[in-house]
Structure 1
């Protein structure tokens, strides 16, 4: 349509009518006189809107899927983070359970021997004081520790305290070549002196060269005067080899220590000695021997075997 004076007047008239209808519709509310026309328009244009909606929905669904995918990705990342935290916590719990088991085992030894102990954690290893086999523990003079106190764990003798600071102490391990402790054999009470050999077995010199010793025999600490540096009865190890005496005044034994010196974590320092020598009561229970299986042999009599000393007669 061309832009003429008549066309402009028509446009203004249509706009005025539209505003009038909008005003009437708003004021009429649900009783609006144009409600019927609106419903008719919905009837006409509804299917078209549905078609447009159906055409547009896949796009909307795709956008929603992308948004949900991002949310799912964030949730997966959050779950993975939580899972990693749980695994870390589980690992920590496993370690704590292991340490609690070590502590429980050590307390049982302390109870059996009536040792008053101060628990400590190994915080360093090495040659801080020039020794080859030492550890540093997180307890010191402020905890009542002094030089030449016995150190043990849930397995047996660990060593002795050599240097004490306010909050830490150095322990010389029983595996050190400079370490020596008096020992007593279980059962026959034969005395000797055990020395460390690094990562090898302990070397024990028995005072009695004719002592009857065999593989599997066990040793404990003999104890020292005034219980320093060693209290009596602490498990030392098991004999794994006995050298021939050869007429010597002493006899050499090689002993596998109860303690694994490369896996130390929780230890106890004996700050109060037992009132009485616990003797062999602190040693672990001996393993029960495996019973030998009994073999039963069943003999089935042969057809030709004699019955009551008589052989069956042959048929004629």
Structure 2
């Protein structure tokens, strides 16, 4: 027993202090005496009460913080899902607006040009190492025939190469077999534009012809296929050769061939 008291005397002293405080408070409440000890007793008891109360509210605050974090995370997931849905809806709406704008441009262009025309959509592509064509969803049943001009509001696309009742194949101006009679808009110099798969080139341009990079080439109407004055291509490269009587001239189509979706086919 002496060993037990020696080892635990600190805890025994604390327990005795609590018992003493409890006894003093009990006597004070029952008999109304020992008022001299009232303030020290209340001070000590208040100290321990503040410790217990602070610990309780600290733990309660941690609990409330955890609940708030869980709710905030759940709300963030919900909002992220709504943002994703709105982004998808916005993309769909932009695509519909873009298509509507293209159709309006095509319709407006059709109204401004006297020749009768048929609006068609591109439904297939064939760009190999030797040819460059697209297939449209209108054919002979819609009045389309061979060698009709095909354009967009931006300019020349090519000509109808083959026709079926419900579809037609269009030879693009970049096809190696394509030639278009053109003139330089700036000075009215004339020439023939041929396809080179990824671009076009002016054929037989005399060394003395004034052609500059940036010049716009338009249809001259001399080939009997394309109406006069349609934008065709813009000059990108001009090379003069001292040993030759000709110069090399390359041009890029004004129409974005890779983005074709709707076209107009001119009827004769």
- Tell me which interval the TM-score lies in, with the shorter structure as reference length: 0.5 to 0.7
Change (3 A) 1:109 1:242: farther
**Structure with greater strand percent:** 2
Q: How far off its partner does 1:250 sit?
A: 3.8
State how many pairs are aligned. Answer: 194
1:120 maps onto 2:116 in alignment: no
CA distance in 1, matches of 2:107, 2:242: 43
CA distance in 1, matches of 2:162, 2:90: 37
The residue aligned with 1:271 is 267
Residue 126 of structure 1 aligns to a residue whose secondary structure is: strand
**Structure with greater helix percent:** 2
The residue aligned with 2:101 is 101
TM-score of the aligned structures, taking structure 1 as reference length: 0.53
CA distance in 1, matches of 2:155, 2:161: 18
Contact 2:132 2:172 in 1 (8 A): yes
Listed one character per residue, the Cα deviations across residues 108-166 of structure 1 (whole Å, up to 9, x for unaligned) are: 444555443211111111269x9621111111111110011111112211111111111
The residue aligned with 2:202 is 204
The residue aligned with 1:305 is none
Listed one character per residue, the Cα deviations across residues 203-258 of structure 1 (whole Å, up to 9, x for unaligned) are: 11255431112221111112245x33x23222111112211153644433111210
The residue aligned with 2:215 is 217
Contact 2:240 2:246 in 1 (8 A): no
Contact 2:182 2:217 in 1 (8 A): yes
CA distance in 1, matches of 2:189, 2:142: 36
The residue aligned with 1:37 is none
Change (3 A) 1:109 1:184: farther
Contact 1:204 1:254 in 2 (8 A): yes
CA distance in 2, matches of 1:127, 1:198: 8
The residue aligned with 1:190 is 189
Contact 1:106 1:155 in 2 (8 A): no
Matches within 5 A, 1:57-68: none
Change (3 A) 1:168 1:87: farther
The residue aligned with 1:237 is 233
Partner residue of 1:252 out of 238, 248, 268 = 248
Residue 243 of structure 1 aligns to a residue whose secondary structure is: strand
* Structural RMSD (CA): 3.2
Residue 233 of structure 1 aligns to a residue whose secondary structure is: coil
CA distance in 2, matches of 1:270, 1:107: 13
Matches within 5 A, 1:68-83: none
Q: Which runs of 5+ in 2 are unaligned?
A: 1-77
Q: Which runs of 5+ in 1 are unaligned?
A: 1-75, 273-316
Residue 170 of structure 2 aligns to a residue whose secondary structure is: strand
The residue aligned with 2:138 is 139
Change (3 A) 1:232 1:110: farther
Residue 91 of structure 2 aligns to a residue whose secondary structure is: helix
Q: How far off its partner does 1:266 sit?
A: 1.1
CA distance in 2, matches of 1:250, 1:105: 40
TM-score of the aligned structures, taking structure 2 as reference length: 0.62
CA distance in 2, matches of 1:131, 1:119: 28
Change (3 A) 1:215 1:142: same
Contact 1:210 1:245 in 2 (8 A): no
